[in-house]
A and B are shown apart, each in its own frame.
Chain A
Amino acid sequence: MTWTTTDFHITTVGVLCAMACALPGTFLLLRRMSMMGDAISHAVLPGLAVAFLISGARTSWWMFFGAAVAGVMTALFTQWISKFGKVDRGASMGIVFTTLFAVGLILIEQGAGNVDLDARCVLYGALELVPLNMVTVFENYEMPRAAIVIGSTLLFNLAVIGFFYKEFTIASFDSGLAETQGFHPRLMHYILMTMVAVTTVAAFEAVGSIIVIAMLIVPPATAFLLTRRLPILILLSLIIAAGSAILGHLTTKAIPVIFGLPETTSSGMMATMTGIIFLLVWLLGPQGLIRRNGTELEEPEEI
Chain B
Amino acid sequence: MWDVSVIAELGSALTETLFLKGYNTRLVVGGVTFLGATAGLVGSFLLLRKQSLLGDALSHATLPGIGIAFAIMTAMGITGKFLPGLLLGATITGLLGVLLVLAIRRTTRLKDDAAMGIVLSVFFGLGIAILRMVQQIPGQSSAGLESFIYGKTASMVLLDFWLITGTLIATTIATLALLKELTLLCFDSNFASTEGWPTLWLDIILMALVTAVTVVGLQSVGLILIIAFLITPATAARFWTNKLTHILVLAALIGAISGWLGATASALLPGLPAGAIIVIAAATIFLFSMIFGTARGVLPRYLRHLKLQKKVGRQHILRSTYEILEDTQGVEILKNIPIPLEALRKHRYWSKGELSKLIRQAHAEDHIVRRPTGEICLSESGFGEASRITRNHRLWEMYLITHADIAPSHVDRDADMVEHLLEPEIVRELEKALELEKPVIESPHVITT
Contact A278 B118, beta carbon cutoff 8 Å: yes
A210 touches B121 (CB 8 A): yes
| Docked CA distance A252–B132 (Å) | 11
B139 within 8 A of A: no
Per-residue A-contact encoding for B116-139, CB less than 8 Å = 1, 0 else? 111011111111111011101100
Which 8 interchain pairs have the tightest Cβ spacing? Answer: A271-B125, A275-B122, A268-B129, A98-B228, A217-B117, A214-B121, A102-B276, A102-B279
**A265 contacts B150, CB within 8 Å?**
no
CA distance A88 to B50 in the complex (A): 7
B15 at the interface (CB under 8 A from A): no
- Please state if A85 and B114 are interface contacts (CB–CB under 8 Å): no
A262 proximal to B (CB < 8 A): yes
18 A–B contacts from the bound complex (CB under 8 Å): A38-B120, A90-B112, A91-B47, A94-B52, A94-B53, A94-B228, A99-B228, A106-B280, A123-B149, A210-B125, A261-B133, A265-B128, A268-B127, A268-B128, A271-B128, A272-B125, A275-B121, A282-B104
How does the 8 Å CB contact mask read for A100-139 relative to B, with 1 for contact and 0 for none? Answer: 0111011001100000000110011000000000000000
Residues from chain A with Cβ under 8 Å of B120 in the complex: 38, 213, 217
Tell me which of A216, A264, A287 contacts B132 (CB under 8 A).
A264
Residue B51 at the chain A interface, CB threshold 8 Å: yes
- Is B286 close to A, CB under 8 A? yes
Binds B, one of A50-58, A173-181, A218-226: A218-226
Return chain B residues, CB-CB under 8 Å to A224: 109-110, 114
Residue from B53, B125, B273 in contact with A35 in the complex, judged by beta carbons closer than 8 Å: B53
A268, B271: Cβ atoms closer than 8 Å: no
Mask for A257-277, Cβ within 8 A of B = 1, else 0?
A: 001011011011111101100
Chain B residues within an 8 Å CB radius of A272? 122, 125-126, 129
Further 10 A-B residue pairs, CB within 8 A, beyond A98-B232, A102-B280, A282-B104: A34-B117, A38-B120, A91-B47, A224-B109, A264-B133, A268-B126, A268-B127, A268-B132, A272-B129, A287-B108
Interface: A42 (CB within 8 A)? yes
Of the candidates A90, A264, A270, which one forms a contact with B52 in the assembled complex, judged by CB atoms under 8 Å apart? A90
Complex: A136 Cα to B309 Cα, angstroms? 68
B217 within 8 A of A: no
A170: Cβ under 8 A from any B Cβ: no
Q: Which residue of B lies closest to A282 (CB)?
A: B108
CB <8 Å contact, A218 and B122: yes
Enumerate chain A residues within 8 angstroms of B47, measured Cβ to Cβ: 88, 91
A window 198-219: CB within 8 A of B: 210-211, 213-214, 216-218
**Pairwise interchain contact A221-B280, C-beta atoms closer than 8 A:** no
Chain B residues with CB under 8 Å of A95's CB are 228, 231-232, 235, 283, 286
Contact A35 B129 (CB under 8 A): no
Complex contact B136–A94 (CB within 8 A): no
B225 at the binding interface (Cβ < 8 Å) = yes
Cα distance A240–B176 in the bound complex, in angstroms:
47
Cα A275 to Cα B97 in complex, Å, equals: 12
How near does chain B come to A215, taking the closest CB pair, in angstroms? 8
Q: Are A84 and B125 in contact (CB under 8 A)?
A: no
Q: B186 CB to closest chain A CB, in angstroms?
A: 12
Q: Is B290 an interface residue (CB 8 A)?
A: yes
User: Does the CB pair B231–A105 fall under 8 Å?
Assistant: no
B37 CB–A CB distance under 8 Å: no
Residues B122 and A271 in contact, CB atoms below 8 Å apart = yes
Contact present for B125 and A87 (CB under 8 Å): no
CA distance A218 to B133 in the complex (A): 24
Check A106 against B117 for contact (C-beta < 8 Å). Answer: no
Quick one: given A268-B126, A269-B129, are A85 and B290 in contact (CB under 8 Å)? yes
Which residues on the B side are within 8 Å of A278 (C-beta)? 118, 122
Nearest CB of B to A87, in Å: 6
**In the complex, A81 has a CB within 8 A of chain B:** yes
B200 at the interface (CB under 8 A from A): no
Interface residues of B (CB under 8 A from A): 47, 50-53, 55-56, 104, 107-114, 116-118, 120-130, 132-134, 136-137, 146, 149-150, 224-225, 227-228, 230-232, 234-235, 238-239, 271-273, 275-277, 279-280, 283, 286, 290, 296-298
Q: Majority SS of interface residues in chain A?
A: helix
Smallest beta-carbon distance B307→chain A, Å: 18
Q: Are the CB atoms of B118 and A221 closer together than 8 Å?
A: yes
A29 within 8 A of B: yes
Report if A35-B298 is in contact (Cβ < 8 Å); known contacts: A95-B232, A109-B272.
Answer: no
Complex CA gap A256/B130 in Å reads 10
Please state if B276 and A87 are interface contacts (CB–CB under 8 Å). Answer: no
In the complex, what's the smallest C-beta–C-beta distance from A169 to chain B, in angstroms? 18
A94 touches B231 (CB 8 A): yes
User: Is the beta-carbon distance between A275 and B125 smaller than 8 angstroms?
Assistant: yes
Instruction: Digitize A34-53: 1 where CB-to-B-CB distance is under 8 Å, 0 elsewhere.
Output: 11011000100000000000
- A84 close to B298 (CB less than 8 A): yes
Q: Is A32 an interface residue (CB 8 A)?
A: yes
Q: Please state if A213 and B129 are interface contacts (CB–CB under 8 Å).
A: no
With a 10 A CB-CB cut-off, give which of A32, A91, A262, A265 has the most chain B CB atoms: A91
* A35 pairs with B283, CB closer than 8 A: no
Pairwise interchain contact B238-A87, C-beta atoms closer than 8 A:
yes
In the assembly, what is the distance between CA of A205 and CA of B146, in Å?
20
What A residues does B116 contact at CB under 8 A? 34-35
- Asked if A33 CB lies within 8 Å of chain B CBs, one says yes
Given contact pairs A88-B47, A95-B283, A267 touches B125 in the complex (Cβ within 8 A): yes
Partner of B114, one of A34, A98, A103, A211: A34
Take A84-B298, A269-B129, A272-B126 as given contacts and tell me if A213 and B117 are in contact as well, using a CB distance cutoff of 8 Å.
Answer: yes
User: Is there an interface contact between B273 and A106, defined as CB atoms closer than 8 Å?
Assistant: yes
A213 to chain B, nearest CB (A): 4
Instruction: Report the bound CA distance from A211 to B124 in whole Å.
Output: 10
Tell me the complex Cα distance, A278–B130, Å. 20
Nearest-Cβ distance from residue A199 to partner chain B, whole angstroms: 14
Bound Cα distance from A116 to B113, whole angstroms: 34
- Rounded to whole angstroms, the CA-CA distance of A93 and B122 in the bound complex is 20
Query: Is A214 a contact partner of B111 (Cβ separation < 8 A)?
Result: no
Q: How far is the CA of A98 from the CA of B290 in the complex (A)?
A: 17
User: Do residues A90 and B117 form an inter-chain contact, with CB atoms below 8 A?
Assistant: no
Residues in A neighbouring B149, C-beta threshold 8 A = 123
* B278 (CB) vs chain A CBs: closest residue: A102
Interface pair A98/B227, CB less than 8 Å apart = yes
Complex: A128 Cα to B132 Cα, angstroms: 12
B222, closest chain A residue (CB): A105
Distance from B12 Cβ to chain A, minimum over Cβ atoms (Å) = 25
Most chain A beta carbons < 10 A, residue from B51, B56, B116, B134: B56
**Minimum Cβ distance to chain B for residue A90 (Å):** 4
Tell me which residues across on chain A come within 8 A of B280, comparing CB atoms: 99, 102-103, 106
Contact A124 B114 (CB under 8 A): no
Query: CB distance B53 to A270 under 8 Å?
Result: no
Residue numbers in B under 8 Å from A29 (CB-CB): 114
